[in-house]
Structure 1
């Protein structure tokens, strides 16, 4: 089974991203810039997953990368128009060999031809500097404009120590589940089948479309169920449909969490033992549950 590596959330500005997550009690990494004009202010979690709030850091480099056909930039540029940011635009799955994964996707008719290789500077909260390198391969699913699915292979020799960055005032220790639109189910299932097929022993075996990833659960819901389960109203009809709707974090102490959110004057409501926070003006949300 594949594991989730990270979740991409486009924001309008680095300041907005940083303020949003710090107000929620998360520790936010120092700002970083990609060579193709995007930048991020990442939130790292103790379970090894992370959030990538993504911004346009260098408009000229971004525009040039778009003209050159950089797949990562093209996906971001296709997602932003008509959205109330922040919203969830992409899911990155862990990979140990992005080239092999692209071949597996190609065999299923789901591969984008381009690989994206890049390096960027990384500075820990303790001031340690290093260079991180990655290779990305993208799935072509038909819902790319609304949710990009890709694999992410780390190419650096060793990862920096992120321990300090994984300690959060709200107590969050990891991502527990992803909440997706029912309309995303076929694309997610197809990509998982393509990437996980080499591990299936019998040809007749099929991957359960509702099954979890190796490290994160998946929930698929029609829009009306959001109100009953999470107290979240669907996006206005004028907005483009969201394929990825919510992030559910594991937090051992909801009392501590509520105190943290109260200090930040965060609007929160409780639904069946979980605390739910709307993310911006969209139907995107963040929820917290005990493990």
Structure 2
């Protein structure tokens, strides 16, 4: 039997969007520095938001529809699952949680053994450019996990074969003061049915029934009613499992509140948290949480 590894850290989050231009403008209005556009070799493209804790957001759009269709025909799980998400839930959302790993092959083997593999591994490289225009090549290997009924959510392990030797300091200096991702919140009509998927994908035991501790973040599954009570916004359409909110660490909630008010961005202050509902270019609810 394949040995279960230690809990994997959060690497990044995938946020489908119809337009990178819209995503870039929306994220800038929330006080984020957005990286230059990155182009994948299989038809998708992104404009990432990097954080000091090593995690990042990946707004993802279709840049070349023909290349994306060809990739799907060739068995590219990343692009195929992106299309499945868009067909089911639209072009704006939060489709995947990506976990860091040092051995994607081993993770893929675990997923296959558990009956949770979403398909073949994927290896690829792409050019990366920082804010100053310096370029390098980033190479990755991915292994995918998903539940048979949970078609709205994908988890995958990402091994960085070659990490860009680029200074991201300027890309991490966000005007809103965000330093990292504290928590990912998923909604499920039947949370208990998703615990095995999350536990195996992340290599993480439950902290309690529906809270999973990663080395650098928490992943929580909530019933839609509990989600609505906690954040004061609706959870959306029924789903076996759907990622819905991102809790972001900030040093000062007041700073965020002033920035959002100045930009006329809809938000709700709830204790030490500021809730910004999803909008075009921002597929998940963003929760700015003041942390010491």
Could you state the TM-score of these two structures normalised by the residue count of structure 1? 0.89
Structure 1 counterpart of 2:3: none
Whether contact under 8 Å (1:229, 1:271) holds in the other structure is no
Alpha-carbon distance in structure 1 between the residues aligned to 2:195 and 2:244: 14
Pairwise CA distance, 1:279: 1.2
Q: Structure 1: where are the runs of 5+ without partners? A: 198-205
Whether contact under 8 Å (1:233, 1:283) holds in the other structure is no
Whether contact under 8 Å (2:275, 2:288) holds in the other structure is yes
Alpha-carbon distance in structure 1 between the residues aligned to 2:41 and 2:50: 21
Whether contact under 8 Å (2:179, 2:250) holds in the other structure is yes
Structure 2 counterpart of 1:97: 103
- Kindly report which structure 2 residues correspond to 1:120-269, keeping only aligned pairs within 5 A, or say none: 120-143=126-149, 145-156=151-162, 158-182=164-188, 183=190, 186-187=193-194, 189-193=196-200, 196=203, 207-208=206-207, 209=209, 210-235=211-236, 243-269=242-268
Pairwise CA distance, 1:84: 4.3
Whether contact under 8 Å (2:17, 2:283) holds in the other structure is no
Q: CA RMSD in A?
A: 2.2
| Secondary structure of residue in 1 paired with 2:107 | helix
What are the superposed Cα offsets for residues 89-133 of structure 1, whole Å, 9 maximum, x if unpaired?
Answer: 011110111111111222222224411111111100121111111
Whether contact under 8 Å (1:33, 1:40) holds in the other structure is yes
Would you say 1:290 and 2:262 are equivalent positions? Answer: no
- Compared CA separation, residues 52 and 144, structure 1 to 2 (3 A): farther
Structure 2 counterpart of 1:203: none
- Compared CA separation, residues 184 and 10, structure 1 to 2 (3 A): farther
Pairwise CA distance, 1:241: 7.0
Pairwise CA distance, 1:273: 2.1
Pairwise CA distance, 1:179: 1.0
Alpha-carbon distance in structure 2 between the residues aligned to 1:142 and 1:113: 12
Whether contact under 8 Å (1:27, 1:168) holds in the other structure is yes
The total of aligned residue pairs comes to 281
Runs of 4+ in 1 over 4 A off after TM superposition: 206-209
- Kindly report which structure 2 residues correspond to 1:71-90, keeping only aligned pairs within 5 A, or say none: 71-90=77-96
- Compared CA separation, residues 92 and 229, structure 1 to 2 (3 A): same
Task: Between 209-218 and 53-62, report the one with greater CA deviation.
Answer: 209-218
Alpha-carbon distance in structure 2 between the residues aligned to 1:103 and 1:39: 28
Pairwise CA distance, 1:11: 0.1
Task: Between 177-186 and 84-93, report the one with greater CA deviation.
Answer: 177-186
Whether contact under 8 Å (1:189, 1:207) holds in the other structure is no
Pairwise CA distance, 1:257: 1.0
Pairwise CA distance, 1:185: 5.5
| Secondary structure of residue in 1 paired with 2:220 | strand
Whether contact under 8 Å (2:153, 2:242) holds in the other structure is yes
